[in-house]
Amino acid sequence: MGKFLIRQMRNGQYYFNLKAVNGEVILSSEGYTSIQGCRNGVQSVKRNSINDSSYIRKIASNGKHYFYLKAQNGEIIGTSEMYSSRQSMENGVESVKRNAPNASIN
């Protein structure tokens, strides 16, 4: 089972990373001004991660693939790492779908 790690940055903002079972970061958040806001973001990822329509697949200017996970209101709640191929990115999407819904929060 995956896990969410919540951390406070030096600027005082909070962010989370979703890690897969193997410890690899598969989704990262933007900064939140409060711990509760960050926890709400985690809950939004848990709810929205199961819906394929919540994923926005992109290609960066360097040719790498990545995706966003968006909430029902259209806000981006998580960003993936960069992948070398479309298939690797799709594997990342599937990993978020598998890991996020039941991930623990640390």
User: Model confidence over 17-58: pLDDT tens digits?
Assistant: 999 999 999 999 999 999 999 999 999 999 999 999 999 999
Residue ranges and CATH numbers for the domains of the chain are 3-105 (2.30.29.80)
User: What is the Cα–Cα distance from 79 to 59, expressed in whole angstroms?
Assistant: 13
User: What is the Cα–Cα distance from 81 to 73, expressed in whole angstroms?
Assistant: 23
Arithmetic mean of pLDDT, 82-88? 97
Arithmetic mean of pLDDT, 60-67? 98
Q: Give me the pLDDT at residue 2, please.
A: 92
> What pTM did the predictor assign?
0.93
Q: Give me the pLDDT at residue 1, please.
A: 81
Going edge to edge, which strands form the sheet with 76-79?
A: 55-59, 65-70, 76-79, 25-28, 14-19, 3-8, 104-105
